[in-house]
Amino acid sequence: MVRGPKKHLKRLNAPKHWNLGKMEGVWAPRPSSGPHKLRQCLPLCIILRNRLKYALTGKECMQICMERCVKVDGKVRTDQNYPAGLMDVVEIEKSNDRFRLLLDTKGRFVLQRISVEEATWKLCRVTKVFFGPKGVPSIVTHDGRTIRYPDPETKVNDTIKVDIATGKPVPGGLSKFGLGTTILITKGNNAGRVGTMTHIEKHDGSFDICTVRDAKGHVFSTRLENVFILGETRSAVPLPKGRGVRKTIMDEKAEALARGQLSLK
């Protein structure tokens, strides 16, 4: 017997990168259906309540959204459970706040504050290239957009710069997938790390593997599907704290000692 779509999410089963307290309640907001997957998004109520502290309860989050105060990618969203995801631009005009959702070096979403000019565009990864009805060339991006008549050079895994107001690619904003490009890892154990692609291993019938070197010279590997091109030479978006370089436990300990936040007693 089919029970239909699930409408609830318990806090223990919520994604760990939401950083919800285990003892703060039983339930967590279940993201609505949208452009990003349940475990790869951040609902608006988590942003308003847990990140920005603009609300104390879910009820207050709903009131803020229903007053049409929150925009995601230039569109007002009144659903407090709307799933915002990687590279989305969240705008709150009343408080003059504009953020781009990025990942820190531990794979958690961070709200990177951006300027008015930066809030007019976003980067989108191409996931599919096809010909639609009447032979119209089209592409699909990681955030569910279907764009017609793209640059003929656009291929899968490339990144395009999209104008949020029109939904069309910005001329000259195509970043080709290939060696030497600056990339962000979006999933897996290395999520949030940024580096330069140095090698691609092809495995027919299995997962292609990309080898990456970060700014400190650390080398690691990940699946090709986890790679997001940030730019052909350098990142087109400002990176959050850490610049995509993951620190070891000993590095973090040394920095805490230097700041005086940790004692050896």
Residue in the structure block whose two tokens are 């580096």: 195
Cβ atoms of residues 149 and 168 within 8 Å = no
Residue 69 has pLDDT above 80, yes or no: yes
Query: Where does residue 87 rank: exposed (0-12), middle (13-18), buried (19+ CB within 10 A)?
Result: buried
Tell me what pLDDT residue 256 has: 86
- What's the CA dihedral at 77, 175, 166, 113 to 10 degrees? 40
Summarize the confidence of residues 71-86 as an average pLDDT: 96
What's the confidence (pLDDT) of residue 244?
87
pLDDT at 265 over 70: no
Q: How confident is the model at residue 146 (pLDDT cuts 50, 70, 90)?
A: very high
CB-count exposure of residue 143 (10 Å: 0-12, 13-18, 19+): buried
**Is pLDDT above 80 for 93?**
yes
Lowest model confidence (mean pLDDT) among 157-161, 177-181, 257-261:
257-261
Q: Are strands 209-213 and 219-223 parallel, antiparallel or unpaired?
A: antiparallel
Q: What's the CA gap between 5 and 220, in Å, rounded?
A: 38
The Cα–Cα gap between 110 and 153 comes to: 32
CB 29 within 8 A of CB 47: no
- Give mean pLDDT, residues 112-139: 95
pLDDT at 258: 87
> Is residue 222 pLDDT above 90, yes or no?
yes
Phi, psi of 40 (to 5 degrees): -130, 35
DSSP secondary structure of 1-49:
--------EEGGGS-GGG---TTS-SEEPPPPSSSS-GGG-EEHHHIII
CA distance linking residue 94 with residue 65, whole number of Å: 12
**What is residue 136's DSSP assignment?**
-
Specify the higher pLDDT residue, 261 or 47. Answer: 47
Q: What is the mean pLDDT of the chain?
A: 93
Q: Does the pLDDT at position 261 exceed 80?
A: no
pLDDT score for 2: 80
- Mean pLDDT over 157-180 rounds to 94
CB atoms < 10 A from the CB of 180, how many?
Answer: 9
Tens of pLDDT, residue by residue over 175-201, are 999 999 999 999 999 999 999 999 999
Q: Mean pLDDT, to the nearest integer, of 88-116? A: 95
* pLDDT > 80? residue 1: no
At residue 201, φ and ψ (nearest 5 deg) are: -100, 125
Please give the model's pTM, rounded to 2 decimal places.
0.91
Q: Which residue has the higher pLDDT, 263 or 107?
A: 107
Burial class of residue 206 in the structure, from the number of CB atoms within 10 Å of its CB (0-12 exposed, 13-18 middle, 19+ buried): exposed
Report how far residue 228's alpha carbon sits from residue 243's, in angstroms, rounded to the nearest whole number.
Answer: 15
> What is the C-alpha to C-alpha distance for residues 228 and 157, in angstroms, rounded to an integer?
7
- Residue 74: which of 42, 11, 116, 25 has the closest Cα? 116
Rounded Cα distance between 158 and 173, Å, is 11
